Amino acid sequence: MIKVDGLYKTFGATEVLTDVHAHIEKGECIAAIGPSGSGKSVFLRCIAMLEKPDRGSICINGIDITKKGTDLNRVREKMGMVYQGFNLFSHLNVLDNITLAPRWVKKQSRAEAEEKAMELLSMISLVDRGKSFPHQLSGGQQQRVAIARCLAMEPEIMLFDEPTSALDPAMTGEVLAIIRKLTKMGLTMLIVTHEMSFARDVADRVFYIDEKRIYEEGTPEVIFERPRSEKTRAFITRQNIFAFRIDSVAFDMTAMNARIEVYLTKYNLPLARVYKVQLVLEELIMEIIRLCYGVSRPEMEFTVAYAPGSDEIAICLHYVADRVNPLEESGDEDELGMVLVKKMSKRREYLYLNGRNQIAVTL
């Protein structure tokens, strides 16, 4: 279906992709992951020929689209691309956004195009928003319309360039649910994403892109559980852990809690569990500040990690101070905060070594 050989792309003197090779079978869903700036989006845009490669070939259904004289418009008729931004026509309502290309490119009648558009709006649960304009929709709704607009052209290939990067967690879930539906339709899909749990869930194979190439590829089980390279392993570990540093008694707890919520809701955890994590951390942090720092500058950091296999959430909190264990120091049963921490956690461990305190809590 898609074959990439020796792809090389530069912007001026900057190499972005070097010697990229890939093969994507018909009906296969590929997730492309990797650090920011590694060339994932450029790889996608080269396949759509929105960026022209400097060297190499890209064959789609046996047609080398990098060859001079290739009818790119004809190839693109069977290819849909969904961007980070929604790119809807602001002056057109939802129905007109979806029907514009089928009417102009495929010469469908308005009635035929609108009948198909209504089917698609039903699929994305927006059947009542056909007459709405983009500014009247949420970000998640706009992105769902952008997907429907691509599907109206009946593509064989769908390319997604970080389709949820501009959305909050609730809207992200809406869009990912639609993409999950598409995996059952037999479309060939390449999805650039930073949503690791989603990539693991929907992809047949995962491309880890780094050092300007496909650094490692394999099934989701291989890439996420037993990657061959240390670099891939380090990247996956970073993505699976939320880390936060506190260096002021007036730190922004609201921002901290918002970031914890974003991290945990990626795993589709209920808000009740998210609130439990936030409450445990709030109580521990404020008690450590009271016991160790007062008004002085804290040296504190913590990580939160969710393990899908065991369905457990691990909190590990480090702080530099004399030996102080708030679970013991505040140990009388009248101290409500620590009582709550103990009641809500399955396991608790404390360690002190060379001036560093560590509390590990499992929920």
* CB of 53 closer than 8 Å to CB of 8: yes
For residue 305, count other CB atoms closer than 10 A to its CB.
Answer: 15
Write down the pLDDT at residue 170.
67
228-269 pLDDT, tens digit per residue, is 999 999 898 887 788 899 989 989 999 899 989 988 887 888
Where, residue-wise, is CATH 3.30.565.10 in the chain?
A: 240-362
67-120 pLDDT, tens digit per residue, is 999 999 888 889 999 988 888 999 999 999 999 999 999 999 999 999 999 999
Q: Tell me how far CA of residue 79 lies from CA of 73, 74, 152, 177, 189, in angstroms.
A: 10, 9, 11, 21, 10
Lookup: tokens for 129: 């928003």
Which homologous superfamily does the CATH classification assign to the domain defined by 2-238? Answer: P-loop containing nucleotide triphosphate hydrolases (3.40.50.300)
114-142 pLDDT, tens digit per residue, is 999 999 999 999 999 999 999 999 999 99
**Reported confidence tier of residue 331, pLDDT bands at 50, 70, 90:** very low
- Predicted confidence (pLDDT) at residue 53 exceeds the cutoff of 90: yes
Where, residue-wise, is CATH 3.40.50.300 in the chain?
A: 2-238
- Predicted confidence (pLDDT) at residue 168 exceeds the cutoff of 50: yes
Write down the pLDDT at residue 8.
96
Class of domain 240-362: alpha beta
Relative orientation angle of helices 336-344 and 271-288, to the nearest 10 degrees: 140
